[in-house]
Amino acid sequence: MRWHLRHFSYLSGLALAGAARAQTDAPLAAPIEAVTVTELPASGPSYVAPDALFGQPNGGWNMQTPVTDIGKEAYSLTNYIMNPMMAAVAVLVLILLAWVVFRYRAAANPVASKTSHNTTIEVVWTVVPVLLLAVIAVPSFRLLANQYDPPKADITIKAIGHQWYWEYEYPDQGGFSFDAVMLTDEESAARGSPKLLDTDNRVVVPVGATVKVLTTASDVMHSFAIPSFWVKMDAVPGRINETWFKVDRPGVYFGQCSELCGTKHAFMPIAVEVVSKAEFAAWVAAKQSENGIEPPAAETAATTAVEAAVEGPAA
């Protein structure tokens, strides 16, 4: 129903803007104002204040600080192996090129050289790149294998892309679902959040839990992406993709749809709140009562299992 309301208000906003423009030649109203829902929840697990150093762009040239093991592995591979290698190769090629341009210029070589083969250098320029690729392949395949071989999931959430907001389902916790619509600049400022990245309802997950994310979409292709988790998975209508993350640091982490999905592709952010187990349990209980879900015994057992898994073996 919210979908219809939202789109109705979007369409009526456009119609009104069109009418206004026809009469007064006023500029077309920005449709984003018309779609944003302002029914903000009064409270969440606390609406953890975002930390400018984590989970959001901070204006630097580097990637966001990774907060998952996979993210840290990928960060090291990129910054300490790939980038230095690329820089070294680029510099070497630049030096060789400059040397050739200078040393073998026409003015200094009135009689052109007839040299066409040099076995030694041909072996070198074949073997060295192969070795470089081998050096890259080992950590690269290890990362790939780790990404696609997740530990057993503690909880599962389903992220459904819509034009233009995300909907989340918690199948293990009674199947409640909610929409997450982008906040206006004023609402973001009130929460201390960066512009265009926070949503009215955030995805809430327990700290230290392995979270399996199933992605799909209702209309066109979207992509569920959170840079600081090293997570990016296409959300495709009619099929389910799977990704996962495990965050050991409580906080708020932001992401965005990363598949060009329409005019408001840039305005369907993802906000994940990583909270303690107790806060997560309280949030789940609130969501269940809000949705009229009686927590079944099996579900309580599942929650206990999550807690046990998150806590790890007793010391």
Nearer to Cu ion, 181 or 261 (CB): 261
CB of 107 to Cu ion, least distance (A): 58
Region near Cu ion per CB under 5 A, out of 34-42, 56-64, 165-173, 259-267: 259-267
How near is the Cβ of 74 to Cu ion at its closest, in Å? 23
Of 52-60, 186-194, 237-245, 251-259, the segment contacting Cu ion by CB under 5 A is 251-259
Distance of closest approach, residue 272 Cβ to Cu ion, in angstroms: 16
Q: Is 257 in the site for Cu ion (CB under 5 A)?
A: yes
Q: Which stretch binds Cu ion (CB under 5 A): 17-25, 145-153, 261-269, 292-300?
A: 261-269
Among 95-103, 214-222, 277-285, 307-315, the segment contacting Cu ion (CB under 5 A) = 214-222
C-alpha span between 232 and 257 (Å, rounded): 9
CB closer to Cu ion, 183 vs 257? 257
Which span (4-12, 47-55, 246-254, 257-265) binds Cu ion, by CB under 5 A? 257-265
CA distances from 148 to 26, 71, 152, 214 (A): 53, 13, 12, 14
For residues 88-110, one letter each, b for 16 or more C-beta atoms within 10 angstroms of the residue's C-beta and e for the rest, the string is eeeeeeeeeeeeeeeeeeeeeee
Beta-bridge partners for 158: 169, 214
Residue closer to Cu ion, measured from CB, 209 or 257:
257
Rounded Cα–Cα distance for residues 203 and 270 (Å): 8
Smaller CB distance to Cu ion: residue 236 or 286? 236
Site for Cu ion in 19-58 (CB under 5 A): none
Could you give the CA distance from residue 245 to residue 66 in angstroms, rounded to a whole number?
Answer: 11
Is 202 among the residues that bind Cu ion (CB under 5 A)? no
Q: Which DSSP letter does residue 117 get?
A: -
Query: How near is the Cβ of 222 to Cu ion at its closest, in Å?
Result: 3
Q: How many residues bind Cu ion (CB under 5 A)?
A: 3
Nearer residue to Cu ion within complex by CB, 257 or 272: 257
| 47 versus 267: smaller Cβ distance to Cu ion | 267
Q: Which 131-150 positions form the footprint of Cu ion (CB under 5 A)?
A: none
Give the bridge partners for 138, in sequence order.
Answer: none
Whole-number minimum distance, CB 162 to Cu ion, in Å?
8
Counted residue by residue, the chain has a size of 315
Angstrom CA distances, 296 to 215, 290, 302, 308, stand at 26, 16, 10, 18
For Cu ion, the closer of residues 155 and 203 by Cβ is 203
Q: Which is nearer to Cu ion, 172 or 234 (CB)?
A: 234
| Helices 119-147 and 83-103, packing angle to 10 deg | 160
The CA angle 113-130-144, to the nearest 5 degrees, is: 150
Identify which of 235, 298, 254, 302 has the alpha carbon closest to the alpha carbon of residue 51.
Answer: 254
The footprint of Cu ion on residues 265-304 (CB under 5 A) is none
Cβ neighbours of residue 273 under 8 Å, at least 6 residues apart? 44, 45, 47, 48, 202, 203, 204, 205, 251, 252
Cβ proximity to Cu ion: between 211 and 270 the closer is 270
Radius of gyration in angstroms for the set of CA atoms belonging to the chain, rounded to a whole number: 26
Task: Give yes or no for residue 222 binding Cu ion (CB under 5 A).
Answer: yes
Query: Where does this chain bind Cu ion (CB under 5 A)?
Result: 222, 257, 261
